[in-house]
Structure 1
Amino acid sequence: MSVFGKDELAMRKFASSMPVPEFEETHFVSTKPLSQAKVAIVTTAGLHRQSAPGFEIGDSDFHYETLARDSRDLKLGHHSVNFDRGGFAADLNVVYPIDRLEELAVEGVIGAVAENHYAFAGNQSATVSEIRLDSGPHCAKKMLAENVDIVVITGTCPLCPRTVCTLAHVFEAAGLATIVITRAREVAERMKVPRALHTVFPPGLSLGKPRDKVFQIEVLKAAFKLLEATQGPVIQEFPISISASDGEPLVCSLPPQMNPNLHPAVDEAEALKSAYYRAFKSTKRTSVGMQIGVDEIPQALEKFAKIAEGEHWTEVGFSNESIAETMYGTVHDIRSYYEELACELADGPIGPWKTEQWFYDDTKAGQIILQARRAMRDSEADSSLWFGLATAGRE
């Protein structure tokens, strides 16, 4: 079975069958010349400041976070495992191209960068009704009050296309010109989104290539070119595609076992702390903390090791209240810890899905989580407990 987020055919089939809300009319706002316009970013990556509580697990959190123009201490609060999280770990601009907008403003390509930008969670219910009727219009009013003219909308997970297209309709109806950057042409067409740049990039890589300023600028310029259309809906193809198989495997050395009295995964996590802290010092951001902190990661891996060895998951120390969410959030934090430090240790570029592949295939931590996941599945545990501990399609 292929890994869902890496299977282009499966992703397109999913997008084609995804339920989407209907809009009676496609509003299409004309705006001032780009060189005079103020531009904001709205992302459905669930970004939030390090000090903010973030987004709840599930599809019922429809609030949005305000991201000040100068904020870079951002967490990736989107909970889905089915997109490439390593791109954001390496370069937040691949999801939230704030630095690229700043550069375009200096060049005079755009008039100004908005003082505030906004983040929603992309994993919404099928109707996206709360965003359509509540938080979306509220966010639009804030941007209008800040004299925003154009909104660039990005997503991450397989459900995000529905949410970003909904936001585009809401914002255009309020009087804002929008451009959606989406990998799901099928959703953009069915929802008759006003303007969309269709990109064939792996989910999670809205701007295509982390740490590649030139490529990211090309994506944004292609998106802005849609503003030249006098009527919509309009969808254009970005001419360069990126496959999940592109690039070389991550070259990232792992330490030898130092303490034979510890489980190898626990020892590994302890040994990698210095690399994690170097990465944090470099980027000033981390997505660790949804469920546990950095110092709790070795103990969490010990719990998964016990499950892999046959102990019942309710008896290894996880809170039995909302245990599925607890384990899901814990794996999110372990994976974020490893993927962030991998971006610090890696030799060469960070290719699509390569940190996910390295984590589950090469690290002791990833392997013990997969073993625990299989043990729970084979014990006929409810799928809500084990399915989200790895990308869909992994065994």
Structure 2
Amino acid sequence: MTITTGVPAPTHHTPLALARGLLTGAVVGASLGALVVGGIIANAALFTAGLVLPVVYGLLFFLAGMPRRAREAAVVPRTALATIESLKAVGGESSDVSVRFELSVVPDDGPAYRVEITQDVNLVDLSDYRPRGVVVVQYPPDRPWRVRIVKRPTPEWEDRVASAHLDPAPVTATAAAPPEGCAFGFMVLLGLLIGAVAVVLLFRADLFDPDDTDAAQPSVSSTSSTTVVTSGSGTITLGPGQSFLDKGELDRAVGSLTRGQDKRRAITVVVQERMLSVLFSPTDTQAPGLDPRALPYDRFPALVEEARTTLGVHAPTWQISADRLTGPSVIRVVVTGPDGMASLEADGQGRVVRRTPAQ
């Protein structure tokens, strides 16, 4: 029989869809901004909000779409015959195989059209599908591209399959879901920028303006060193000719950073030749951390000397880091030089527990 070709041309660009794209982008941008800004300024509540926001939005989006999905489910699908133009297995490692079909769908009350779908087929039934074979399909009347092959058609449709001879639909008559288009992508990008910028602007004071109570203070222990203390960190830089491996220098420096903060814990402590940095745990959380005053600073010079002389790195620079993410405190000494990088680890009492020489 001769089939008159033609394809429904659904459109997809509605103000509601564009608004949804803008809102989705804003949520993603605000979430990313909250994670980054919250981490920088050590604001646990903001960081947590960045994690929770997309989850809440996803839940609300799901709930808001329930009436639409209920309406779509209530629509009686249309049933038609279709010819398999081609098929190809594209995945599957179990009893079901994902197969990509190209079909020529021939509705009883409309023009024939082509459509590409992917559907899982049981290995036992795979031999029932072959090129130019006729199958029964169903699809929503308003979305003809959402075709599904009926695996167990009724006896009436089985009789029609047995006697059907269908002409292939032309390739030009292909039904597909309408693309989102440039407008939708632009709205998502615009929303992402708006969300990220809004978070940065709301917390710009914490990001760019030092608080009066946390302003940089010159060190009282030495005119040739500089101390900078903020709400989330503290840094001391020594002048030329000084070293934190000098006897008692680290104890004095850590004492000046933690003065008046007896119970304050640190996420990490980093020591270099002339720089000490302490990243403090947020005061309103129970995050893991260590007491920066309890580290065995008298053992640091010996650990550095051992790392510099026994790990196979000549003329190295060194760095010590101490943290307690899980379990006991860990002290790491990393040395870097022309021969590469090596390290050793010590426990909270300064006893070496692991060595990693240069390769």
User: Shorter chain as normaliser: what TM range?
Assistant: under 0.3
Question: Which has a greater percent of helix?
Answer: 1
Say which one has the larger Rg: 2
